[in-house]
Structure 1
Amino acid sequence: MQKPKQFDRNLIVIGAGAAGLVSAYIAAAVKAKVTLIEAGEMGGDCLNTGCVPSKALIKCARVAQLARESGQFGVRLPEPEIDFPAVMAHVRQSIETIEPHDSVERYTGLGVEVLKGYARLQDPWTVRVSLDDGSEQTLTGRAIVLATGASPIVPPLPGLDQVGYVTSETLWERFAELERAPERLLVLGGGAIGCELAQAFARLGSEVTLVEKAPRLLPAEDEEVSVAVAEALAMDGVTVLTGTEAERFEPVQQGGGQAFVSSAGDERSLAFDQLLLALGRRPRVEGFGLEELGLVEDGRLKTDGYLRSVQPHILAAGDLVGPYQFTHMASHQAWYAAVNGLFGDLKKFRVDYSVVPRAVFVDPEVASVGLTESQAQEQGIAYEVTRYDLEGLDRAIVEGSRRGFVRVLTAKGKDRILGAAIVGENAAELIAEFVMAMKHGLGLNKLLGTIHIYPTMMEANRSAAGDWKRAHAPEAALKLLAHFHRWRRG
């Protein structure tokens, strides 16, 4: 496999999800000749089957719940009538409205050549594209960025193929045909996707059971956060079964099926009309010629801290490489992949994973950044926890949004922020202040000294900083001040 003396493109990008789109955009912005190849829909999973449709559905469910809770504000409404086809139409309309942002036309206008077709690496520098019109095109690239994403995990459980399951990718098309939300929905998986969709469908009228193998929901978060989410789901009628594992499935004549699950050695059956698998996502590495080039090991693409594969000019970004499967992380990595691909032989940049925010869009929302308490313990880091409850926040009181808290980990005896977690209204927005503070080395004292508008939910962050300050008041100095003021009074 001899390196070509000339190349057709400076950069070839395979996959037009968040990572691929941003990589191609950056390359075009610095006047490189770049080709973006996509076999499916532009925008990838986030636009078509992930972030956008799920948040549109969550909004519909939130409106229904607000109608149910309107009585606390003196506005009494009847139980909302759920027009499920209209809900799914809102989901589709949301996608269609955002589609132009990720379209072929927009990226062509930005200077990116976009090819619709299936790409496969013929050798480390050559990509063969089977175009949608039936023709083929072969391109050589000085650098290649792989942004092929990930796909839902489907476990090899007995009977699963016989009960018509859906995943976070396939449910939108399947459920668009329904006249009403599934009467009995079984969700396997208590991560972000499982929790979000379980609560949303419960609010839209489904009888929802969520099964999670781990001892608690959202096992990557602190236990207090997991407990808060479990309580929120239970309040909306979701039956949460943690420490429970699905063993096998059987179809029933009326449609749907039975799931046989076990917990602590005891087996029980759960009837369902629809089964949703939310068990995580695995990198999409097959069919692109990666195995033949030795780029894949144990089902994963091997990359270094610069996102380079074992062939340094072949880089990767997004869900394909992880370690975080977030759209904002895909966009973050895309800058490094594009810049290292185009300029890495002159100067390369190691990906910065130091401050990575995450969110779960349940109600109340959950958002986190930095270390959890368990991670600090595992790493032997001395820390303190400051917790501020939203029930005492003026804006939360008037909004009827008193459920939740702000929880901050700081270095022992110092105001340096190690991590933060927020459970509450608009937590995914509120966490941004802690993200900014951690990124730029600002401690709680700086946050406390920043003016926050009254009354806002953002004041919760400042209140947490204030609680930390009170807990670290200099007692000796305060005693001297008390003597000083007594002396001044005469």
Structure 2
Amino acid sequence: MKSLALLALVLVLVAGFFALGGAKWLTLAGLKSGLDQLAAWKDASPALLGLAFGGVYVLVAALSLPGAAVMTLAAGAIFGLFWGSVIASFAATLGATLAFWSARYLLRDWVQAGFGERLKPVNEGIARDGAFYLFTLRLVPLFPFFLVNLLMGLMPIRTLTFYGVSQIGMLAGTLVYVNAGTQLAQIDSLGGIVSPGVLLSFALLGVFPLLAKAVLRWVQRRRVYARWTRPRSYDRNLIVIGAGAAGLVTAYIGAAVKAKVTLVEAHKMGGDCLNYGCVPSKALIKSAKLASQMRHADHYGLSATAPQFSFRQIMARVHAVIAAVAPHDSVERYESLGVEVLQGYGRLVDPWTVEITAADGSTQRLTTRSIVIAAGAQPFVPPLPGIEEVGYVTSDTLWDAFAKLDAPPARLVVLGGGPIGCELAQSFARLGSAVTQVEMAPRIMGREDAEVSELARQALARDGVDVRTGHKALRCESEDHGGVTHKYLVVEHGGAEQRIEFDALICAVGRAARLKGYGLEDLGIPTERTVVTNDYLETLYPNIYAAGDVAGPYQFTHTASHQAWYAAVNALFGHFKRFKVDYSVIPSATFIDPEVARVGLSEQDAKEKGIAYELTRYGIDELDRAIADGAAHGFVKVLTVPGKDRILGVTIVGEHAADLLAEFVLAMKHGLGLNKILGTIHTYPTLAEANKYAAGEWKRAHAPQRLLAWVQRYHAWRRG
């Protein structure tokens, strides 16, 4: 009842303010028109006017009325810099505290009761560092102050803390506005507008946010580094931990701009992509595709034949491909570029010191201005009972584990329905394994649209993969029959258990960032599923960065390289200019047959986010080159802004889809619409024409029908 009465009072006061025309006095024009009268009142009774002005200011701030900035200018114009600052500072803080208290009294219990679980991380952060967060908002007004007052009232921060931090945090901005107000009062002619004092005072209004940000960043650094002793000099400009895609590109850029760079790698140069991921998997996919084409050679007018091969030789080729690519990422190459490469484990001792432990146990410590953590990720192995006993391989270990097999595993279970699981399942099925793919979700490739998932399932099924979606892995078991060990994966589906026998089990359920062993926990650097970074890839410590899979949010080699540019430039030149990472256009591809490639929004994404779109679709089965190649399947699907040709997202399913996607990636990156793609000459006959024809479908759907009707009449008239 009391809260309702308070709410009613607030509404009455706000309504009365506007009904009595109070809003006109909280504008610059209103302030200028009343300055003479206010000056007269001040001369007659300065103390009384000061109390009255302060009271009105408190009321304006407490009721969150527009015009607090004008009130601050007025304080300077009427009372001068000193007394204007005193009155405005205390009045603003008192009013803000009343607004804070009102929000707490009226809304906090209701908000916390309804959204408490979602707000739990925010509440914990405010309870821990609320004063600093509030000081940040007060110093750099990213949000209107009245919103800060109301939102803070909903959070677990003490009233006295709110008052004290607000009093201090708003003081600098108050001084700038009051000073500008003192100059406002002195403008009595056009010449006064361009006087140095006025120009300087109002220039401070624009410069202050930039200065405040610089001060705030300095305060944050002081706070973070308080418990550490900074070196007087540094051995290196940059140390990079991890020689995968992110680490290699970071080190390369650092050396290219003549910084002294050390790259630390504990295992193999080139990281996961070269040694376990992109390179070996694509080599295997190529061999498997050729085997499939031989079985279906009659489709091309040739005699179909069962491919004869040694699986050991296929795996030897995989390793030969890795060896052929390896020189691009080798120690020798990077040392020739000017990078110092150290083999060993890097661990952060403090924000500027890295200890490197070599394989022989020897250690050395290097100091550095900046550090980039590019430790990558590793396959996640689900904690299934019995999995260690029956044995398994991952996308990292299968290349060595299968290297000496004369034939692929006869019965293979692939656990996981994501891109890696799908690629491996199809490849081994094409090479002769009886593959069962187990996925807990309702469909494979769940990040894609439902129709894409279904096409992928059909493609895998055609190659013999037994795709079992909606099957939850429970445990692994083994039994001995006549001296022969039989291994089983037990799954649950529809409330019943099933046993799937296998000779080999591949775990492909995702990858987890490598977060242990680098000293992150010793420095207090927050980690969740990845290393926590800001928009500049900075960790808790502004001189320590993270890039690649260890930083997320994407686990793509090309994204790791993309992040590496930002990490390197910010680490070496961030004291001049920092750059936020641009994630606006991120392509991805799954290299099954047919390939699936996407950039930007899918239909699924757009619907989940409530983003309006138009859909344009072109079937590749109509494309001349696809028909000639025997690859007339798939589609190009483009999402655009309703009524416009601006591209929101593209999904391509078909032969060489990942290559075809590049044109749309370029278009989206540089703001080119479908009209530009339609107006570009595409070589005939190529698969790339599919992109042009998709743009043509959009153009046809947006043809100006009224104009065309008049044109038709014109042509009829011309014929007589």
Alignment TM-score, normalising by the size of structure 2: 0.67
**Are 1:162 and 2:389 counterparts?**
yes
Q: Percent identity?
A: 61
Give the alignment partner of residue 709 of structure 2, picking from 464, 479, 483: 479
Structure with higher strand content: 1
Cα contact 2:636–2:653 (8 A) shared by 1: yes
Alpha-carbon separation, structure 2, partners of 1:396 and 1:224: 21
- Indicate the residue corresponding to 1:370 in structure 2: 600
Alpha-carbon separation, structure 2, partners of 1:217 and 1:395: 29
SS in 1 for 2:444: coil
Give the alignment partner of residue 379 of structure 1, picking from 601, 604, 609: 609
After superposition, give the CA deviation of every residue in 1:151-203 in whole Å (9 maximum; x if it has no partner).
11111111111111100001111001211000000001000100000000000
Between structure 1 and structure 2, the one with the greater Rg is 2
- Indicate the residue corresponding to 2:286 in structure 1: 59
> Structure 1: any 5+ residue segments left out of the alignment?
none
Alignment TM-score, normalising by the size of structure 1: 0.99
- Indicate the residue corresponding to 1:396 in structure 2: 626
Alpha-carbon separation, structure 2, partners of 1:336 and 1:20: 12
SS in 1 for 2:707: helix
Give the alignment partner of residue 296 of structure 1, picking from 503, 523, 526: 526
Cα contact 2:678–2:695 (8 A) shared by 1: yes
After superposition, give the CA deviation of every residue in 1:218-277 in whole Å (9 maximum; x if it has no partner).
111111111111110000000101111101110233345111111232211111100000
Aligned-pair distance for 1:298?
3.4
Alignment of 1:187-226 (within 5 A): 187-226=414-453
Cα contact 2:411–2:501 (8 A) shared by 1: yes
The total of aligned residue pairs comes to: 490
- Indicate the residue corresponding to 1:437 in structure 2: 667
- Indicate the residue corresponding to 1:49 in structure 2: 276
Letter of the 2:536 counterpart: Y
Alignment of 1:35-434 (within 5 A): 35-253=262-480, 254-255=484-485, 257-434=487-664
After superposition, give the CA deviation of every residue in 1:338-387 in whole Å (9 maximum; x if it has no partner).
10111111100000000000000000111000001121112221111111
After superposition, give the CA deviation of every residue in 1:72-117 in whole Å (9 maximum; x if it has no partner).
2211042111310010000000000111110000000000000001
Alpha-carbon separation, structure 1, partners of 2:479 and 2:710: 78
SS in 2 for 1:291: helix
Alpha-carbon separation, structure 2, partners of 1:280 and 1:393: 36
> Structure 2: any 5+ residue segments left out of the alignment?
1-227
Cα contact 1:255–1:273 (8 A) shared by 2: no
Cα contact 1:16–1:147 (8 A) shared by 2: yes
What is the root-mean-square deviation of aligned Cα atoms in Å?
1.0
Alpha-carbon separation, structure 1, partners of 2:250 and 2:559: 13
SS in 2 for 1:292: helix
Alpha-carbon separation, structure 2, partners of 1:355 and 1:281: 22
Aligned-pair distance for 1:409?
0.6
After superposition, give the CA deviation of every residue in 1:405-456 in whole Å (9 maximum; x if it has no partner).
1111111111111000101010010000100110111111111111100000
After superposition, give the CA deviation of every residue in 1:315-358 in whole Å (9 maximum; x if it has no partner).
01000011110000000000000101111111000000000000
Alpha-carbon separation, structure 2, partners of 1:63 and 1:231: 19
**Are 1:30 and 2:257 counterparts?**
yes
Alpha-carbon separation, structure 1, partners of 2:525 and 2:492: 39
Letter of the 2:616 counterpart: T
Alpha-carbon separation, structure 2, partners of 1:202 and 1:130: 43
Greater Cα offset, 293-302 or 387-396? 293-302
Letter of the 2:319 counterpart: R
Alpha-carbon separation, structure 1, partners of 2:625 and 2:486: 45
Letter of the 2:268 counterpart: E
Cα contact 2:585–2:668 (8 A) shared by 1: yes
